[in-house]
Chains A and B, each alone.
Chain A
Amino acid sequence: MSLPETLIKRLHEAPSGEPEWLSEKRRAGASHFETVGFPTRRDEAWKYTDMSRLSSADFAQADSAELDHARFDALRLDIDACRLVFVDGLFSEALSDLHRLPEGVEVSPLSRVMAGDQQAISEQLGRLTAIDFSAFAALNTALTGEGAVINIGKGKAVETPIYLLFISRNNTTPVMSHPRILVRCEAESEATLIEHYAGEQGAANLTNVVTEIEMAPASRLSHYKLQEASQSEYHVASIQVDQQRDTNFTSHNLNLGGAVVRNDLISDLNDENATVDLLGLFFGQDRQHIDNHTKVNHNAPRTYSNENYKGILDGRARGVFNGRVYIKRDAQQVLGYQNNANLLLSDRAEIDTKPELEIYADDVQCSHGTTTGQLDENAIFALRARGIDEQMARGLLTLAFANEVMERIRHGELTDRVERAVAGKLPDRFNLESLVEDTSL
């Protein structure tokens, strides 16, 4: 497969003045990527998501992080948080706000850490998500230069969320960015991390992010990924979590935007009593394509996983869900549950779902279920019999369908944002505000 010349050139020109360990990783990433190229539908993991179109696309790289406050305010989440902002992959000091940073917590842009003491990140970068994880992980390793490094100190419980905002501008030439997020939760720490991807209307960039999260014993992390890219954007994310004993990881994977979206989320439960909760919501419209791949590896006995992904598809949108639960030999007394429910609102929408179980231990309880269907006509009738018109009834029921995931969001502003975004996508502009007014009468 041939790759665009500019991309090949970029893969070979290492940024000057970088330490040898990084250049080495970049070279390995570049050479792996050149061998495999962008995935095509011939790869089983990409059976339903064709990325070969990227081979002919030509992306530049942003050279400034300029963004005026009006455009910034239109996209950002208005929450009280410790905030790092990236514009087309570049760090924006002006828009970031780190003054709320609690003691014992480090949050820095990757570029800054690289300029200073790199010992820790030289080991951390690529430890969980190696270059052979996917073509995109290799590409990220080869080209990354920015991102976030987060360290939650031992025993620290941080209430203020850490908010990473990635803004994709509507550029004349589409750009690509390869952020790398490295998170380390030390023992007995507790924190909330929000990754927010927001795009200006018409932005047609490629965002290819890799997040590596290390969780030391008894740490807890709530992870939110809110993806609101424009409907012309390519968005690829690989998230891998290493969970030690007694850790608790909750993921909220909320996908509302993007032209072609792919999320790979992997949790390795490496020691006893590690628990993972994977919650997902995706809403596709028009020609959006949203692909979620999750993998839970029960590598140790008495580990627990719970997964619930809900998809709503309208227009000619296509959704993909692939969830795998793996239980290693002798990882006994594991509980693993997985659920994927999909709602198709249009006859031209499509869902391809594949919940997989791979089990090598006998004393376990595992189940998965998936359903695909439409709104219950009886429920619509019941609402209409109470004077609610059909559009409203459909809107309410769709919202209720999504609510199972939304109600687990623990931040008011975030819940609000998602609820409004979902309501705004409903057919015939289902109006949540007017509904609230109506019921208060």
Chain B
Amino acid sequence: MATEAMEQLARREYKQGFVTDIESDTVPPGLDESVIAFISEKKGEPQWMLDWRLEAYHQWLKMTSPSWAHLDYPPIDYQAISYFSAPKKPEDRPQSLDEVDPKLLETYEKLGIPLHERAALAGVAVDAVFDSVSVTTTFRERLAEAGVIFCSISEAIREYPELVRQYLGSVVPQGDNYFAALNSAVFTDGSFVYIPEGVTCPMELSTYFRINAANTGQFERTLIVCDKRAQVSYLEGCTAPQRDENQLHAAVVELVALEDAYIKYSTVQNWYPGDEDGKGGIYNFVTKRGDCRGDRSRISWTQVETGSAITWKYPSCLLRGNDSKGEFYSVAVTNGRQQADTGTKMIHIGKNTSSTIVSKGIAAGKSNQSYRGLVKVSPRATGSRNFTQCDSLLIGDKCGAHTFPYQEIGNSRSTIEHEATTSKIGDDQLFYCKSRGISEEDAVSMIVNGFCKDVFQELPMEFAVEAEALLSVTLEGSVG
């Protein structure tokens, strides 16, 4: 077998690993009330926002880091992290692409994300986050015409305080969990989207996150509100430069769907996973939750997780409205010494609610991967349905794949199904492809892509292409 060539490929350097040399306005490492006050002031926030942050901070102080996940990592020193880093000159932010620091644009070019081209060609508005402050937002006008608000969360706090106040923390409360509390105290940026009643967002909204300055935790806060009968598709994608020290990322994403609203949230996550000994790499502790608040509302999560040293992430749906619908499609790929504990929670509260979970896990190298999910059907959620499928593919004999699905079913008029399989790529499958002149590498890529097809077809077009490419890059060389 072509193991040697493949091993070489497996060892190949993280393509997106480079550091852009931009001066940052960074606070010294450490966390206390003054740091939070500094962040709040730097962002020009009103008093209520600062109070809200401090409340979260006090709750966080009383909490302990969760230890139930199937993950193994040294304790994090939260005092060694710097909680604020922004590109310089935040006062005179660029108003259009031409004003954007060319070095920054170059960074996007290297990442294969030509911002302006992509924006123009694909009709995607991009709220590009470089480190912590939104640098530029395109297609503002077109969105404004439709009445859609798409801006950074800091801007939203200043410009639309009543909207933010109404919804912020209503899905993920400040004290929801350890990382959410931390995020609530120190979040620096993120996106805010509001789609007014009856509006279908004229284009797909997208944010590219990028972690830059060394030692700065990235604490994004995203809030998407879809009013009655409104629709939006939101794309989130990330890459990060190569680093030696672990970087903490604790984001919170809140989605609110009112009556008949539909939110589709897609993620491609490709942060630096650490070197082959697991050194460096991002700690990705994310709280994502959608609230199907209105009747017949629908929230769909699609994620492709290939990066990060450690992933702790459970995009969830609270199905509160009657006939509401939650979906979760996930492909998680781990290689090297990556660890991922990911899955979803579907909480059926309203009547006739339905949820679909499709999770595909691929573990290679010395990585470990767990699917952890909860399907809870409350006694009054009669006529509810859930279908869960989680499949794992093991590549190599040093990795691990685990499944921990929780199901709590409290009434007799609901139907819940769960199935899971674990297997490897069959020798006969490989032989079949090879006998038809397909190289082993291509065959593996083909089989893995087929394995993930159910999820990829849920992704928006551009993302699907990127995801497939990413998958083959991540897995190349791991089959022997």
Q: Using CB atoms and an 8 Å cutoff, list the residues of chain A in contact with chain B.
A: 44, 48, 329-330, 332, 342, 344-374
Closest residue of chain A to B397, judged by CB? A362
Listed A/B pairs (23) with beta-carbon separation below 8 Å: A48-B408, A342-B409, A344-B411, A347-B413, A348-B379, A350-B408, A350-B410, A352-B409, A354-B404, A355-B418, A356-B403, A356-B404, A357-B392, A357-B402, A359-B402, A362-B394, A365-B421, A368-B418, A369-B418, A370-B417, A371-B415, A373-B415, A374-B412
Contacting residues, chain A, for B412 (C-beta < 8 A): 344-347, 349, 374
User: Considering the chains assembled together, what is the distance between the CA atoms of A348 and B380 in angstroms?
Assistant: 10
Q: Is the CB of B405 within 8 A of A347?
A: no
Docked CA distance A370–B388 (Å): 9
**Residues in B neighbouring A348, C-beta threshold 8 A:** 379, 411
Measured CB to CB, the nearest residue on chain B to A321 is B407
Taking a contact as CB atoms under 8 Å apart, the answer to whether A371 and B392 are in contact is no
**Known: A330-B397, A356-B404, A359-B400. Is A369-B419 also a contact (CB below 8 A)?**
yes
Shortest distance between the CB of A182 and any CB in chain B (Å): 33
Residues of B within 8 Å of A372, CB to CB, are: 407, 409, 414-417
A interface SS class:
strand
Q: Please, which residues of chain A bring their CB within 8 A of the CB of B420?
A: 355, 357, 367-369
A355 touches B403 (CB 8 A): yes
Instruction: Give bound CA distance, A48 to B410, whole Å.
Output: 13
Q: Looking across the interface, which residue of chain A has its beta carbon closest to that of B411?
A: A347
CA of A359 to CA of B413 in the docked complex: distance in angstroms?
34
State the CA gap A355–B399 with chains docked (Å).
20
Q: Which residues of B approach A to under 8 Å, CB–CB?
A: 68, 379, 382, 392, 394-424
Q: Give bound CA distance, A77 to B408, whole Å.
A: 35
A contact residues around B394 at 8 Å (CB) = 359, 361-362, 364
- Shortest B11–chain A CB gap in Å is 20
Bound: A346/B413 CA distance, A: 8
User: CB distance A362 to B407 under 8 Å?
Assistant: no
Write the chain B residue with the least CB distance to A375: B412
CB contacts (< 8 Å) of B407 on chain A: these are 351-354, 370, 372
Which A residues are CB-close (under 8 A) to B392? 357, 359
Decide if A355 touches B396 in the complex (CB within 8 Å).
Answer: no
A345-B408 Cα distance, complex, nearest whole Å:
16
Q: Is the CB of B416 within 8 A of A373?
A: yes
How far is A363 from B424 in the complex, measured between Cα atoms in Å?
A: 6
B395: nearest residue on chain A (CB-CB)?
Answer: A362
Q: Which of A329, A362, A371 contacts B416 (CB 8 A)?
A: A371
Residues from chain B with Cβ under 8 Å of A356 in the complex: 402-405
Q: Is the CB of B418 within 8 A of A364?
A: no
**Cross-interface CB contact of B419 among A353, A354, A368, cutoff 8 Å:** A368
Q: Is B397's CB under 8 angstroms from A363's CB?
A: yes
A344 closest partner in B (C-beta): B412
Task: Say which residue of A357, A362, A365 sits within 8 Å of B403 (CB atoms).
Answer: A357
Q: How many Å lie between the Cα of A273 and that of B40 in the bound state? A: 64
CB-contact partner of A332 in B379, B397, B405, B406, under 8 A: B397
Give A338's nearest chain B residue, CB to CB: B420
How far, in whole Å, are A11 and B140 apart by their CA atoms in the complex?
A: 74
**Residue among B408, B413, B415 with most chain A CB within 10 A:** B408
- CB-based nearest A residue for B382: A347
Contact A366 B418 (CB under 8 A): no
- Chain B residues lying within 8 Å of A364, measured Cβ to Cβ, are 394, 422-424
B403→A368 contact, CB < 8 A: yes
Question: Which residues of B are found within 8 Å of A48, using beta-carbon distances?
Answer: 408
Contacts of A359 in B (CB 8 A): 392, 394, 400-402, 422
CA distance A384 to B397 in the complex (A): 54
Asked if B405 contacts A354 (CB within 8 A), the reply is yes
Contacts of B402 in A (CB 8 A): 356-359
Closest to A352 in B: B408
Known A349-B412, A360-B399, A362-B396; 7 more pairs at CB < 8 Å: A351-B409, A356-B404, A357-B422, A358-B402, A359-B400, A367-B422, A371-B415
CA distance A405 to B51 in the complex (A): 60
Residues of B within 8 A of A357 (CB): 392, 401-403, 420, 422
How far apart are the CA atoms of A358 and B392 in the complex, in Å?
11
Could you tell me the distance between the alpha carbons of A349 and B396 in the complex, rounded to whole angstroms?
Answer: 43
Kindly state the separation between the CA atoms of A332 and B409 in the bound complex, as whole angstroms: 35
Beta-carbon nearest neighbor of B427 in chain A: A363
**In the complex, what residues of B have CB within 8 A of residue A350's CB?**
379, 408-410
Chain A's nearest CB lies how many Å from the CB of B431?
Answer: 15
Q: How far is the CB of B72 from chain A (nearest CB, A)?
A: 14
The answer to whether residues A354 and B421 also contact, given A347-B412, A373-B415, A374-B415 and a CB cut-off of 8 A, is: no
Residues of B within 8 A of A329 (CB): 397-398, 400
Which 3 residue pairs of A and B lie closest in terms of their CB atoms, listed nearest first?
A: A344-B412, A362-B394, A369-B419
Chain B CB within 10 A, most for which of A48, A356, A362, A365: A362
Most buried by B among A329, A330, A345, A358: A358
Q: A354-B404, A362-B394 are in contact. Are A367 and B411 (CB under 8 A)?
A: no
**Nearest CB in chain B to that of A314: its residue:** B412
- Complex Cα gap A361–B416 (Å): 29
Cα distance, A365 to B401, chains bound together (Å): 12
A354 to B407, CA, bound (A): 6
- Please measure, in the bound complex, the distance between the C-alpha atom of A356 and the C-alpha atom of B411, giving whole angstroms: 23
User: A364 CA to B421 CA in the complex, in Å?
Assistant: 10
Minimum distance in angstroms from B341 CB to a CB of chain A: 12
Cβ-defined partner of B405 (8 Å) among A355, A360, A365, A373: A355
Give Cα distance in the complex from A358 to B368, angstroms.
10
Please name all residues of chain A whose beta carbon is closer than 8 Å to the beta carbon of B398 when the two chains form the complex.
Answer: 329
Chain A residues with CB under 8 Å of B397's CB are 329-330, 332, 361-363
Which residue of chain B has its CB nearest to the CB of A47? B406
Closest CB of chain A to B424's CB: distance in Å? Answer: 4
- Residues on B with C-beta less than 8 A from A354 are 404-407
Q: Chain B residue with minimal CB distance to A332? A: B397
For residue B400, which residues in chain A have a CB less than 8 angstroms away from its CB? 329, 358-360
| CB nearest neighbor in A for B389 | A369
Give bound CA distance, A426 to B424, whole Å: 44
Whole-angstrom CA separation of A439 from B406 in the bound complex: 43
Residues of B close to A361: CB separation below 8 A:
394, 397
Residues of B within 8 A of A374 (CB): 412-413, 415
Q: CA of A367 to CA of B392 in the docked complex: distance in angstroms?
A: 10
Closest Cβ of chain A to B406, distance in Å, is 5
Chain B: CB-nearest residue to A340: B418
Could you tell me the distance in whole angstroms from the C-beta of B382 to the nearest C-beta in chain A?
7
Q: Write the nearest CB–CB distance from B165 to chain A, whole angstroms.
A: 35
Cβ contacts under 8 Å, B417 to chain A: 369-373
> Would you call B406 and A366 a contact (CB within 8 A)?
no
CA distance A347 to B397 in the complex (A): 46
Chain A residues positioned under 8 Å from B406 (CB to CB): 352, 354
A329 and B402 alpha carbons, distance in the complex (Å): 13
User: Assuming A44-B68, A370-B418, A373-B416, is B423 touching A365 (CB within 8 A)?
Assistant: yes
**In the docked arrangement, what's the CA distance between A364 and B402, Å?**
13
Q: Which of A349, A357, A365, A371 has the most CB of B within 10 A?
A: A357
Give the CA-CA distance A368 to B420 in the complex, in Å.
5
A347 smallest CB distance to B (angstroms): 5
On chain A, the residues within 8 Å of B409 by CB distance are: 342, 344, 350-353, 372
